Amino acid sequence: MGRLSEARRLVAKAKELVAKNDAKVKETLDKVAGVVDDKTKGRYTDKIEGAVAKTKEAVDKLPDRASAAEGSEPAPAPGPEPGPEPDADQRQP
């Protein structure tokens, strides 16, 4: 399995796990945001809150938990990876 295929498989798995555990993900985002805000002494509160809001929106856009649990739409199988282009000497006219 090529690196790109493996990366696609891992992304699909991550999306599935996030969709199944969306409440936990959002709770963890809030906790992490609080820790980061404390460590930065409130200097980046607006940026942190914006990032958390956008991340939560992205989580909400994932397929709902029921369809993720059923696996109704599996990730498409990646096509073969293109090989190196032949040298000019090896090309046929």
Local confidence pLDDT in tens for the 93 residues of the chain: 689 999 999 999 998 999 898 999 999 999 999 999 999 999 999 999 999 999 999 999 887 654 444 544 555 555 555 556 655 555 555
Rounded CA separation 33/52 (Å): 7
Domain boundaries, the chain: 3-69
Rounded CA separation 55/19 (Å): 13
Q: Which two tokens stand for residue 75?
A: 């990730």
pTM: 0.58
* Contact of 76 with 53, CB cutoff 8 Å: no
